[in-house]
Amino acid sequence: MSPAQPEGGPLPGAGELPGAVRASSAAPGAAPRPFCVYLHVPYCRVRCGYCDFNTYTNLDMGPGASAGDFVDTLAGELALAAAAMDRAGLPRRRARTVFLGGGTPTVLPAGDLVRMLDLVRRTWGLAPGAEVTTEANPETVDERYLATLARAGFTRVSIGMQSAVPRVLAVLDRAHTPERVPLVVDWARRAGLSTSLDLIYGAPGESMGDWRRSLEAAIGIGPDHISAYALVIEEGTRMWGRVRRGELPMPGDDDEAAKYEVADAVLAEAGYRWYEISNWARPGAECRHNEAYWRDWDWYGAGPGAHSHLGDVRMWDVKHPVAWAGRVAAGRLPVAGHEVVDARARELERVMLGIRMREGLELAGPGGGAAGGGDSRGPADGGWASDGGGRGRTPEHLVPVVARLVADGLLQPDAALSGRAVLTLRGRLMADAVTRALV
């Protein structure tokens, strides 16, 4: 969650939501869209050199904004949000997933995380089999902490491993040692929690041997899910300053591409299947909360800087905890701005997010055409010929585009014949270029 926020207008009133929230959240005659909740805990003990998320190492910012007051202020925001959603005519939907992110949620006592989940349970309820995840750093939890979360209804913990190489961890300003990670996974497993490890590749000075060592260590620990993200050195971060001064080398695109290919091969051989460009899981262990973002579900995001998506409306909270707490104390939804997503932007998002998934993107789209204007005829109007088996077809105006992407080795040919854009391994490395071509 980058601290940079989009431009947008204020809400209509102190606690009113735009009428557009009903546009697709509860269309007449349609089933309500699935609903999820994200809770942003903005506190960290140490700010990593590469981090540009909305996080703060000052845990005592005054009444309402300090770490010790966080849950009480969060309760106020959730009450305001639920009342605003009711007034807007949105149906009460039980949360299918809850995700605590940050920051480092586990810098708070385990009892605070339990209270946060209870707030969601009392405000909206939890759907049967709801997935409940918290992010955690290895040094912030122990066996008792994780057992407390599991007893309260948490089902999953996502652990920031990042690397198994001490030298790389030092470059990333990570506080834990490699030996701590398998202990945490074992404690989580004993508590009955599903486990995920986050890895980062492309750190300055990281060799291919270092990256293989991290992959092999993660596989040896045996989590249910592994995420692997290319390091992005954002302007203004401490690491960006070190690179700019020549203290650290800038990672190269070719190096990161090679490391992604190694990750995919090593993880696949170990039984982890990619289901989204940066995520691999054992069958059935995919992160449903992340899939909610990629599948365009509704979610409410609470906490400083958190983003929400309700119907055709995007909203984002004010970033700083002091400003956030002040608005809640005044009885105002702490939303800094909002925007209404029009049909063209929504279709662009459908392509951009859908293309990242293993099953790929239906080229005809829900309205009969992919983004980009021009001829929006659907499969019935002709196009890429099917094999006569009744499978879908690519809309006619996209046929030359898809043919070129297939010829370039970016899309799988068989899927294209069925009217779906499914990325090859090379296509995953060039997903942005594929998106631009399709829109």
Dist. CA 425–CA 358, nearest whole Å: 11
Quote the pLDDT of residue 50. Answer: 80
Quote the pLDDT of residue 14. Answer: 74
C-alpha dihedral sign at 294, 295, 301, 307 = positive
Angle at which helix 208-221 crosses helix 253-269, to 10 degrees, equals 30
Q: Give the up-direction half-sphere exposure of residue 268: CA atoms within 13 A in the CB hemisphere.
A: 9
Quote the pLDDT of residue 4. Answer: 60
- DSSP letters of 333-370? --EEEEEE--HHHHHHHHHHHHTTBTT-EETT-TTSS-
Dist. CA 425–CA 409, nearest whole Å: 9
Dist. CA 287–CA 280, nearest whole Å: 10
Dist. CA 397–CA 312, nearest whole Å: 27
Side by side, the strands of the sheet bearing 225-230 are: 273-276, 279-281, 225-230, 194-201, 156-162, 126-136, 95-102, 35-41, 298-302, 307-310, 313-317, 335-340
Dist. CA 24–CA 163, nearest whole Å: 41
Quote the pLDDT of residue 240. Answer: 85
Q: Give the up-direction half-sphere exposure of residue 84: CA atoms within 13 A in the CB hemisphere.
A: 23
- DSSP letters of 47-111? --TT--SS-BS----STTTSGGGHHHHHHHHHHHHHHHHHHTTPPP--EEEEEEEES-GGGS-HH
Quote the pLDDT of residue 233. Answer: 83
First-last CA distance in the chain:
25
Could you give the angle at the alpha carbon of 5 between the alpha carbons of 173 and 304, nearest 5°?
70
Quote the pLDDT of residue 368. Answer: 44
Strand segments, DSSP code E, in 231-289 are 273-276, 279-281
* Parallel, antiparallel or unpaired: strands 273-276 and 279-281: antiparallel
Quote the pLDDT of residue 80. Answer: 96
Of 88, 77, 152, 90, nearest to 121 by C-alpha is 152
For residue 103, whether the previous peptide bond is cis, meaning omega lies within 30 degrees of 0, is yes
Dist. CA 329–CA 321, nearest whole Å: 12
What's the average pLDDT block by block, 10 residues per block, for the chain (439 residues)? 64 80 63 92 87 85 95 98 93 96 96 98 98 97 98 98 96 92 98 98 94 98 97 85 88 91 98 97 96 92 96 93 97 94 87 93 66 34 38 76 95 93 96 92
Residue 382 has a CB neighbour count (10 Å cut-off) of 13
The two structure tokens encoding residue 65:
């904004």
Of 53, 37, 287, 31, nearest to 158 by C-alpha is 287
Dist. CA 134–CA 155, nearest whole Å: 9
Quote the pLDDT of residue 343. Answer: 85
Residue 348 has a CB neighbour count (10 Å cut-off) of 18
Cβ neighbours of residue 254 under 8 Å, at least 6 residues apart? none
Look up residue 439 and give its amino acid.
V
The two structure tokens encoding residue 323:
């400003």
Look up residue 57 and give its amino acid.
T
Q: What predicted TM-score, i.e. pTM, was given to this entire model?
A: 0.90
Identify the H or E element spanning 18: none
Quote the pLDDT of residue 309. Answer: 93
- Residue 312 near residue 120 (C-beta atoms within 8 A): no
Dist. CA 146–CA 266, nearest whole Å: 29
- Residue 74 near residue 122 (C-beta atoms within 8 A): no
